[in-house]
Amino acid sequence: MIDYLLESLAVLRANGIRTFLAILGLSIGVAAIVSVQILGYAMSGAVSGSLNMLSNRMFLIQPNSQQSNYRTAGMTQRDLAAVRNTVPGVREVYPLFFRQGIVRLGHRRIRLMLGDVGNAQSLTTPLAAGRYFTRTDLQERARIAILSHNAEKRLNPNGAEIIGQSVRAGAHTYRVVGILQKPATGIISSFVHFTPDVAIPYTTAVRQYMQGAKYYGAAVLVHHVAELNHAEVQTIRLLKARKGGKVSYETFDRKQAAQQLGSVFGVLSVVVSLIGGISLLVAGIGIMNILLVSIAERTREIGIRKAIGAKRSQIMLQFLIEAALLAFGGSLLGCIIGGTLGAWINAAYIIKISGVIVPVPWLGALELAVIFATIVTLAFGTYPALRASRLNPIEALRYE
């Protein structure tokens, strides 16, 4: 066995450039697949990590946007009050409000997102300083705000004391009572629930911006996770009944978000895996080609070996080992390239974006490489090896 190995190594070394190209081709395919696997792993880890930071006691409700009477389905203050008062388990209901605008602190003017929140549970990031809105704040429609980390940095770049100061947005003024920590979950969590830069109590938002308006989105907070699904069903049923049954609503919660994100990443990784698979196929054909060329060049040698008494299986083994060396060389190189690439993207982007540290599964990548190498060896090495083993020794010996 060692002799076969040494023999194959000598042959491959003698054809250095060809060997290198074959290995490189395969390693690119393997690298693509390995890096996608690592990224998929890191992303799903990041997604579930991010989602864990969101309240699992909240769902969003909105009119189904596909229906023709979308406008009639708009929710009034009374509708929301009915949900809050009659749907079992519901603790708080508030309409969603978001508006881009210039926010001023002193003479600094920054374009930021103003939005409303119900209470502490609807803010997904912990406080860095100050306090949350209290029940009294909500009741009194206090003109106060909690700033996001981003808003605080941009409005207050010098780092002066900002709690107690006032920010202006349009015609309104809010006293800053709290500052949030840097969000651990930026882009991914924003897909699930947007945290405004300047958060004001929802009661204040209703008074100042949504007086008498219809709402096309609301957040519902329940007391216990176990009540969430039931509350979703009941809320939809109640709102439908209040609109005479001619409209439809849809809800959105963490579980659904996870599913949607999962399917997005699923599609993504299928696409990239497909590309990797195709390049793997091309690389495999490349390896098959190099083996066929090698066999053609060594026809006479094969003839000599057979004349001396080599069996078919012995000739076959020799070329399979050559294929395996190429396949394992390429796959391991691909594993290293793909793993490094995946680890780098994970560190540079995914961890930065999500704040969730998912370690790179090197062992899994290695396993993958070994599996690919074996498949490539058998799928693309068998035919050339078989061909070599079946050469007629008399004709092979005559070959120049």
Partner 1 sequence: MNNPSNNGVTRTPPAIDLRDVTKTYHLGSLEVPALRGVSFTVERGEYIAIMGPSGSGKSTLMNLIGCLDRVTGGTYVLDGIDVANLDDNQLAEIRLRKIGFVFQGFNLLARTDALKNVCLPLFYAGVPAAERRRKALAALAEVGLEDRAHHKPTELSGGQQQRAAIARALVNDPTVLLADEPTGNLDSKTSEDVLALFARLHESGRTIVMVTHDAEVARHAGRIVRVRDGLLVEEALHA
Cα separation of 383 and 288, whole Å?
Answer: 8
Cα distances from 20 to residues 7, 11, 318, 329, 343, in angstroms, run 17, 13, 19, 9, 25
Q: Which range, of 82-90, 180-188, 223-231, 310-318, touches partner 1 by CB under 8 A?
A: 310-318
State the nearest-atom distance from the C-beta of 293 to partner 1, in Å.
Answer: 16
List helix spans (H) across the chain: 2-14, 16-52, 77-86, 135-140, 149-155, 187-192, 202-209, 228-242, 254-297, 299-308, 312-345, 351-354, 362-389, 393-398
Q: Per CB under 8 A, does 310 bind partner 1?
A: yes
Q: Per CB under 8 A, does 305 bind partner 1?
A: yes
Q: Per CB under 8 A, does 18 bind partner 1?
A: no
378 in Cβ contact with 371 (< 8 Å): no
Chosen residue from 230, 314, 344, 367 binding partner 1 by CB under 8 A: 314
Helix (H, G, I), strand (E, B) or coil at 38: helix
Residue 241: CB atoms within 10 Å: 10
State the nearest-atom distance from the C-beta of 305 to partner 1, in Å.
Answer: 7
Question: Toward partner 1, which CB reaches closer, 3 or 161?
Answer: 3
DSSP codes of every residue in 191-240: HH-PPPSEEEEHHHHHHHH-TT--BS-EEEEESSGGGHHHHHHHHHHHHH
Site string for partner 1, 128-167 (x = CB under 8 A): ----------------------------------------
Q: Per CB under 8 A, does 301 bind partner 1?
A: yes
283 in Cβ contact with 376 (< 8 Å): yes
State the nearest-atom distance from the C-beta of 394 to partner 1, in Å.
Answer: 5
Q: Which range, of 83-91, 228-236, 308-316, 364-372, touches partner 1 by CB under 8 A?
A: 308-316
Helix (H, G, I), strand (E, B) or coil at 116: strand
Q: Per CB under 8 A, does 309 bind partner 1?
A: yes
Cα separation of 74 and 70, whole Å?
Answer: 7
Q: Per CB under 8 A, does 296 bind partner 1?
A: no
Question: Toward partner 1, which CB reaches closer, 104 or 312?
Answer: 312
Question: Toward partner 1, which CB reaches closer, 99 or 300?
Answer: 300
State the nearest-atom distance from the C-beta of 289 to partner 1, in Å.
Answer: 22
Chosen residue from 20, 311, 352, 357 binding partner 1 by CB under 8 A: 311
Q: Per CB under 8 A, does 316 bind partner 1?
A: no
State the nearest-atom distance from the C-beta of 328 to partner 1, in Å.
Answer: 22
Burial of 383 (0-12, 13-18, 19+ CB in 10 A): middle
Residues that bind partner 1 (CB under 8 A): 3, 10-11, 14, 300-301, 303-314, 393-394, 397
